[in-house]
Each structure stands twice: as structure tokens, then as C-alpha cells.
Amino acid sequence: MRIYLIRHGETAWNRENRIQGREDVPLSPEGRAQVEQCARAFEGISLKAVASSPLSRAVDTAKAIGSAAGVQVIIKQGLIERDFGDISGKVVDIFNPEKYTTNLEPLDQVARRMLDALKELAKELKGDFAAVSHGGSINALLKELTGGRIGSGKTRLKNACISVLEPADGTDFSVLDYNLTAEEFSHLIKRDSQ
């Protein structure tokens, strides 16, 4: 089983380096173009479904991928972005938001919520699926799964990037690849199918 974990396309706030948190900021025109390119990378890939955070920038990304792969979109609350508290909407250093506020959703809780959501989906879907989420939440999960080698504080995820996870031992997932552009992902898939 493979899980394709995708960050949503760009928004105007991403371009401004503004913390979005759980604010429902839509995709920008550039973000829509990124999403279409990402969706094309999933054409011909067999997926059971595409799960999505309930925020519109993720849902719109998931719908494009679901359409390309010919599968339904499932809204999953556990995939929502990290709650950044009172710094949502502000321009701050995303690599160290803790220095600006104390009312953030703790990273370990974000990682656990994301992991629980992916485990539930894996159990329900019993096959490869995509999940669309957000930079803060994906990075928290990557940090947890790699013991801090990548993820929060270290990795700046590109918009519409793809990370590939695989069940490791029945309780967690291993990270096979991360932060891939649609083009890099397409090359990886082509290489793996040869």
C-alpha cells in the first residue's frame, strides 16, 4: 500500500508568506495551475480514493486529483491544517512560530491527528490512496515519522508537492519520498514501473 500525501496548491497568502492556519483561503490562479499539473501526474495511477482536509484549498486540490484518477473525494477532519492560534493571518517565520505565540496546536498532537487519520483511511480503503493536507500538518507528520530528520523546522514544502508513505510495521508509516514536484513524481512512477 502507498499513501500519496499532497500539499494543496498555492494561495495568495502563501505568496505573501502569511500564516494561513485554519483560515479558509482559496487557491490562487497559480495554485490552480499547480493543482492541474499535480492532477495530471495521477492519471493512470490506481487509487481507492482521495481524502482531503475540509478547507477549500485542499478540497479543490483533491477534486482535481480525484477527477484525474477517477475516484471519489472523502473529507477527513483529521487532515486539517495545524491551528496556529493568534498568529493566523500574520507574516512570521514559519520555521519557528513558537517564538510568536503560545496558543499553537502542539506539533506532537498535529502529528498524532494526521497519523490517526491516515491509519483510519488505510483500514477503510485497503489500497493505495491520496490525501491532501497542508504544509504545517504534513511537516509535523514527516518530523514524527523520521525522528526529526525532515519536517517541521527543517523542510519547506512546495505547494502541490507529493510525499510518498508506506506502512512500516503496522503502527506507523515510512517516508519513501517527500516534497516531490508533479514532474519529479511522474519520473519516480515511470522509473518504478519499469
The pLDDT tens digits of the residues spanning 143-181 come to 999 999 999 999 999 999 999 999 887 668 999 999 999
Q: Which domain holds residue 122?
A: 3-193
Q: How many domains are contained in the chain?
A: 1
The pLDDT tens digits of the residues spanning 35-79 come to 999 999 999 899 999 999 999 999 999 999 999 999 999 999 999
CATH number, residue 97: 3.40.50.1240
DSSP string for the chain: --EEEEEPPPBHHHHTTB--TT--PPBPHHHHHHHHHHHHHTTT---S-EEE-SSHHHHHHHHHHHHHHT--EEE-GGGSPP--GGGTTSB--TT-GGGT-S-SPPHHHHHHHHHHHHHHHHHHH-S-EEEEE-HHHHHHHHHHHTTTSSSTTT--PPTT-EEEEEE-SSSSEEEEEEEE-HHHHHHHHHHHH-
The pLDDT tens digits of the residues spanning 90-127 come to 998 878 888 888 899 999 999 999 999 999 999 999 99
Q: What is the mean pLDDT of the chain?
A: 94
* pLDDT at position 12: 97
